[in-house]
Amino acid sequence: MSRKVAFITGASRGIGKACAIELAAAGFDLVVTARTVKEGEPREHSSTLKESDTSALPGSIESTIAEIEKQGAKAFGVAADLLDPASLGAAVASTLATFGRIDVVVHNGRYIGPGHMDLFMDTPVELLRKQMEANVFAPLIINQMVIPKMIEQGGGIIINITSGSAYSTPANPAGKGGYGMGYGMSKGAFQRIAGFINTELKDQGVKAFNVQPGLVATERIGQDMAKFGIKNDGCPMEVPAKVVRWLCTEPASETDKYLYETIEMQEFCAEKNLLPGWGTPWTPPSGNGGYPDLSAYNSRRLRNGEKLYS
């Protein structure tokens, strides 16, 4: 039997890179997609319209592949931009031509650019659309191309790296510890995808998981986000990577328990001791915990005959 293959977006650095290395160690071959091919490439990554930032960020497709190959796995990289559907199609086609299968897709990449940390009234609607394109429609494009092959080969796993912003409102505005509307609303839409895939395709072997990493210490947060009130003091990148590995390697009798819920990755990792020696999930600073959406909780209370407002 051929080795299983994982396709990961945004894998030049951060959570995506950590997941690629972890899955390589678990016996997967990897397809690494991102915009940055070589170390040191200049690219716009400012989160605000107020300034430009094309300084090089650490990480690249080439450096991730080098780490994967140290694990004894095969890997190839494809330059792809979430705002360029043609590049996404080429990435999937290249994967199938090279490996003949895709067993796991990790949707980790997201929109990087102005509007992410700008206030609503300062953000052109076009930038809100771009965040929806990158964070919602790009994963849908990939899914529609990958799922037929997954069904043909007997199944597959889709993992959506979502965000607490999908189901909570920031306590503070963008630039002061919060985030822009485009990020929250696009992650909210992204959050809805997994459930539909499970309802429509689970019986054909295709399953999807929502996994929420919380704040993770990454190269880009360390370089870019202090000016917006976000410290690089989250959990290690290995934490979400260990959870992704668990979902991709444990038997369905265990993983299927989490199909219709959002896995809080830091708590999950700590409770299952997936990263020995680490066990303290990050908590937001006082006054910046946000306002979680209690819709599902309130619906459950109503079904149980409880009153909500008395």
The pLDDT assigned to 303 comes to 85
CB 8 within 8 A of CB 33: yes
With bands split at pLDDT 50, 70 and 90, how would you rate the model's confidence at 1? low
Cβ contacts of 31 within 8 Å, gap of 6 or more: 5, 6, 7, 8, 75, 76, 77, 78, 91, 94, 95, 98, 99, 102
Taking domain 5-303, whether its CATH number is 3.40.50.720 is answered by: yes
Cα–Cα distance, 38 to 201 (Å, whole number): 37
Check pLDDT > 80 for residue 289: no
Cα radius of gyration (the chain):
19
Per-residue pLDDT tens over the stretch 68-82: 999 999 999 999 999
CB 160 within 8 A of CB 139: yes
Cα–Cα distance, 107 to 104 (Å, whole number): 10
Q: What angle (nearest 5°) sits at the alpha carbon of residue 234, between those of residues 231 and 235?
A: 165
The pLDDT assigned to 302 comes to 85
With bands split at pLDDT 50, 70 and 90, how would you rate the model's confidence at 263? very high
Per-residue pLDDT tens over the stretch 173-196: 999 999 999 999 999 999 999 999
In sequence order, which ranges of 5-46 are alpha helices (DSSP H)?
14-25
